[in-house]
């Protein structure tokens, strides 16, 4: 089969490799679509948990081409979406019912073979049926939406909360929709892309404020004029340290600051510990997800969360270099999809 194979950071090729041989508890998924994520950019740069050689791609969907002898509840040709996480169930954190921190965490597309290939092998307890009402383009959003759902579990918003989100990438927009449906009284998105802010406004997801990357005081002034007491929840969905640092300017007393975007592993920010102490602020991280796919698929199948207008462009495996260049250098883009 054809697959993208990284031999080292920034060193990859499209090559013929053997089709995966499935285990008794696995299905072989013929990949119809695989989303390109900013995590793929971090993998590309060698700044993640990845081990090489690697076929990346963790947002994959398609149809079942083969089934192992122990698989039940599925049939050949079923349309499914795959949860890329695989957990050992035996380590310290798994035994404490904290599987997200599994010490043997195995993630298809991150440190195991993923969906930028014609086929991918998946444990059958990690695939979920999708109906004909959900297109493959829509279904690739199950993984980022599952991450946003885990984010909601971490954030635990209360009815009537005022929420500020910095960043309007695909996962930020998904999280914005969840917050809107999850009881927030006011949701404000501050981002530097006017096109994305217009998409958010036109869909009624949130209020918007244009971020000035050259002078943060401009959008800061607008936010403080309208919300002088600040926000109950302030979220960084950019992964930019300089943006995360300014999140500390906007929480109410006892407010929450959520690190949702993926900063580089060696990034540093400067914070005032007295501000955290005296205002009883809570600083929380939201990392990936486990066991959230069923809710993600349900949200999309029922039309609660909208993803139709989040796709920017499609690429073939042969165009993978263009896809990565677009991800690394493109600005204002939404979701990119590779169709093996």
2-141+307-338 CATH? 3.90.180.10
Query: What is the structure's pLDDT at 329?
Result: 85
Name the token pair of 210.
């244009």
* Domain 148-285 indexed as CATH 3.40.50.720: yes
Within the chain, all domains assigned CATH 3.90.180.10 are found at 2-141+307-338
CB burial readout 91-110, b (16+ within 10 A) else e? bebbeeeebeebeebebbbb
- pLDDT per position in the chain (340 positions), as tens? 999 999 999 999 999 999 999 999 999 999 999 999 988 988 998 887 788 999 999 999 999 999 999 999 999 999 999 999 999 999 999 999 999 999 999 999 999 999 999 999 999 999 999 999 999 999 999 999 999 999 999 999 999 999 999 999 999 999 999 999 999 999 999 999 999 999 999 999 999 999 999 999 999 999 999 999 999 999 999 999 999 999 999 999 999 999 999 898 889 999 999 999 999 999 999 999 999 999 999 999 999 999 999 999 999 999 999 999 998 887 768 999 999 9
**What pLDDT is recorded for position 117?**
98
Q: Strand, helix or coil at 275?
A: helix
C-beta separation of 169 from 35 below 8 A:
no
List where CATH 3.40.50.720 sits in the chain.
Answer: 148-285
């Amino acid at each position: 089969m054809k697959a993208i194979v990284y031999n080292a950071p920034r060193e990859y090729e499209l090559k013929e490799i053997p089709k995966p041989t499935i285990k008794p508890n696995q299905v072989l998924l013929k990949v119809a679509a695989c989303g390109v994520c900013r995590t793929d950019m971090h993998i590309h740069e060698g700044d993640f948990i990845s081990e090489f050689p690697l076929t990346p791609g963790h947002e994959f969907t398609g149809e079942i081409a083969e089934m192992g002898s122990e698989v039940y509840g599925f049939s050949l040709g079923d349309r499914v979406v795959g949860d890329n996480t695989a957990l050992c169930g035996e380590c310290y954190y798994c035994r404490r019912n904290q599987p997200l921190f599994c010490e043997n965490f195995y993630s298809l597309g991150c440190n195991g073979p993923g969906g930028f290939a014609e086929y991918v092998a998946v444990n059958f307890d990690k695939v979920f049926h999708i109906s004909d009402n959900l297109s493959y383009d829509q279904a690739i959003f199950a993984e980022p939406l599952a991450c946003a759902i885990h984010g909601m579990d971490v954030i635990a918003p209360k009815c009537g909360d005022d929420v500020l989100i910095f960043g309007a990438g695909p996962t930020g927009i998904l999280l914005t929709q969840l917050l809107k449906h999850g009881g927030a009284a006011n949701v404000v998105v501050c981002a530097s892309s006017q096109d994305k802010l217009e998409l958010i406004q036109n869909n009624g997801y949130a209020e918007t404020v244009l971020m000035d990357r050259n002078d943060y005081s401009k959008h800061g002034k607008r936010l403080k004029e309208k919300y002088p007491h600040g926000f109950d929840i302030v979220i960084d969905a950019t992964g930019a340290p300089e943006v995360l640092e300014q999140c500390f300017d906007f929480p109410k007393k006892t407010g929450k600051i959520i690190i949702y975007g993926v900063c580089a592993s060696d990034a540093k920010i400067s914070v005032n510990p007295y501000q955290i102490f005296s205002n009883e602020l809570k600083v929380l991280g939201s990392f990936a997800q486990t066991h959230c796919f069923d809710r993600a698929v349900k949200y999309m199948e029922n039309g609660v969360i909208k993803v139709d207008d989040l796709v920017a462009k499609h690429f073939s495996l042969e165009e993978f270099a263009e896809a990565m260049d677009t991800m690394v250098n493109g600005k204002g883009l939404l979701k990119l999809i590779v169709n093996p």
